[in-house]
């Protein structure tokens, strides 16, 4: 009998100790993540609720309060809570304060094609027009990219002589072009007057810095004429490759310090791929063209239908009477 009471007492003491640690926030004293104010190594709506409770004085402190001021305005409030909620909803890719998110950049290192496979480039082009957010749904994009890569692999294994043809993205994944206002231009020129290899890209223009941080700026290139400081600085910014470029450009253009923002774009012409899916069939056109053609050029078109593993080459005359192919041909322009 005495032994059983001893065990129950022991368990009760353990529960009290855990409860005490929970309430006092003593179960962890530090977190490596900004926004993780309860120090559980996850940034979630629970953290947002805690920040709101602090802001409304329902609680007096946060276990990891040093991770709570996400916009570096010196206070922890509902704006910081909203940032955590936006992150959880995948509307932004980073909650890090600008001084952390934008530290130690080496200008001019944008990965070509955003580092995407051919399927990834085409998946972005398919999803962007039907997405209103600043980012495409990453899981959906990656699933679609995988499916398209398999379609292209099937065509290339049947027609190896067309393997050199890759999609030519209208918009390089993740890239934006900006023209800065005079005061932002001046701030950027000052930043780049220091070590050009390692730049903390915080310009002091809070809204601009915050958008760069939230959209996960990976790298940038500034274009300006040193001897003509009155000319505005043009910026090429690169972000994660599931950026929805036109929505992101609109968000930047709404800022006072940005004169103009547009998705980056490729000029000229060259080999290209266009495709679409109807029911369970992929309709694919490969355009062959010699190299890069800055003044425009077009080569022969190759038509394919792909269902599962089955690749069917379609004669051009037959393809031009199929609505799906007719729609695709129009994308190659005149």
Residue 32 CB neighbours (<10 A)? 9
Binding mask 52-71 for Ca ion (x = CB under 5 A): -----------------x-x
Tell me which stretch binds Ca ion (CB under 5 A): 29-37, 82-90, 247-255, 262-270: 29-37
Of residues 80 and 274, the one with the C-beta less far from Ca ion: 80
Of residues 38 and 269, the one with the C-beta less far from Ca ion: 38
Nearest residue to 153 via CA among 55, 273, 47, 61 = 273
Residue nearest to Ca ion (CB): 36
The distance from CA 255 to its chain's CA centroid, rounded to whole angstroms, is: 19
Binding mask 68-97 for Ca ion (x = CB under 5 A): -x-x-x------x-----------------
* Member of 47, 88, 209, 274 binding Ca ion (CB under 5 A): 47
Total residues at the site for Ca ion (CB under 5 A)? 9
Going 121 to 126 to 127 to 131, the CA torsion angle's sign is positive
Of residues 36 and 257, the one with the C-beta less far from Ca ion: 36
Q: Whose structure tokens read 């709101």?
A: 52
Residue 313 CB neighbours (<10 A)? 12
Of residues 48 and 93, the one with the C-beta less far from Ca ion: 48
30 binds Ca ion (CB under 5 A): no
Of residues 71 and 274, the one with the C-beta less far from Ca ion: 71
d(CA 278, CA 324): 8
327 binds Ca ion (CB under 5 A): no
Question: Token pair for residue 262?
Answer: 């547009």
> Would you state the torsion angle of the CA atoms of residues 17, 21, 26, 27, taken in this order, to the nearest 10 degrees?
90
d(CA 210, CA 223): 21
Residues in contact with Ca ion by CB under 5 A are: 36, 38, 40, 42, 47, 69, 71, 73, 80
């Amino acid at each position: 009998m005495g032994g059983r009471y001893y065990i129950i007492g022991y368990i009760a003491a353990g529960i009290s100790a855990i409860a005490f640690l929970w309430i006092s926030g003593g179960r962890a004293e530090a977190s490596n993540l900004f926004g993780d104010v309860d120090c559980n190594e996850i940034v979630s709506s629970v953290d947002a609720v805690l920040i709101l409770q602090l802001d409304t004085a329902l609680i007096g402190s946060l276990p990891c309060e040093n991770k709570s001021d996400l916009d570096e305005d010196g206070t922890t409030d509902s704006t910081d809570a909203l940032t955590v909620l936006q992150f959880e909803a995948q509307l932004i890719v980073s909650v890090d304060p600008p001084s952390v998110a934008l530290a130690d950049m080496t200008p001019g290192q944008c990965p070509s094609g955003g580092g995407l496979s051919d399927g990834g480039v085409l998946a972005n082009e398919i999803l962007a027009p039907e997405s209103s957010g600043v980012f495409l749904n990453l899981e959906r994009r990656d699933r679609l990219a995988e499916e398209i890569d398999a379609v292209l692999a099937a065509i290339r294994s049947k027609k190896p002589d067309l393997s050199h043809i890759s999609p030519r993205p209208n918009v390089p994944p993740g890239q934006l072009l900006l023209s800065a206002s005079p005061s932002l231009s001046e701030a950027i020129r000052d930043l780049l007057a220091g070590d050009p290899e390692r730049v903390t890209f915080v310009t002091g223009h809070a809204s601009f810095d915050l958008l760069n941080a939230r959209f996960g700026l990976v790298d940038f290139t500034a274009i300006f004429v040193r001897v003509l400081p009155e000319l505005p600085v043009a910026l090429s910014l690169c972000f994660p490759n599931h950026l929805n470029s036109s929505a992101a450009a609109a968000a930047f253009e709404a800022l006072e310090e940005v004169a103009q923002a547009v998705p980056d774009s490729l000029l000229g012409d060259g080999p290209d791929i266009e495709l679409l899916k109807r029911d369970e069939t992929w309709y694919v056109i490969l355009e062959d063209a010699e190299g890069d053609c800055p003044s425009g050029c077009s080569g022969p078109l190759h038509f394919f239908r792909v269902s599962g593993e089955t690749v069917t080459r379609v004669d051009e005359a037959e393809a031009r009477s199929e609505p799906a192919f007719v729609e695709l041909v129009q994308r190659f322009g005149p």
